[in-house]
Amino acid sequence: MFGASYNTQMLFVLGLDLKNIKGILDNCKEKYNKYFYGYDLKIFEPLSILTKKDCIIIIKNGNYVDEIKTQILSINKNTEIII
């Protein structure tokens, strides 16, 4: 998942299956290595994860989706993105 924010929290509350979610990516340095609000999911810097392996990322961040997608693909063009 991308975005340690309200949008991601709402997806979880609405029933998104968490079994394949390994963590949350976010651009906010203050959130790195902390747990996402009430869940056993850590928040990571995108660069630290995406340069090591190919991933599937879910993005639901309103107006910022295109910017986030561009950022992710600039780090690893093999990343699959679900919007």
Is residue 1 in some structural domain? no
What's this model's pTM, rounded to 2 decimal places? Answer: 0.92
pLDDT tens digits, one per residue of 56-67: 999 988 889 999
Question: Around Cβ 71, how many Cβ atoms within 10 Å?
Answer: 16
Q: Which domain holds residue 14?
A: 6-82
How open is the CA angle 57-63-66, to the nearest 5 degrees? 50
d(CA 78, CA 46): 14
Residue 76 is assigned to a structural domain of this protein: yes
Half-sphere exposure (Cβ direction) of 33: Cα atoms closer than 13 Å: 2
Average pLDDT of the chain is 94
Type of residue found at 14: L
DSSP class of 26: -
Number of structural domains found in the chain: 1
**Per-residue confidence (pLDDT) for residue 62, from 0 to 100:** 80
Question: Would you state the pLDDT for residue 47?
Answer: 96
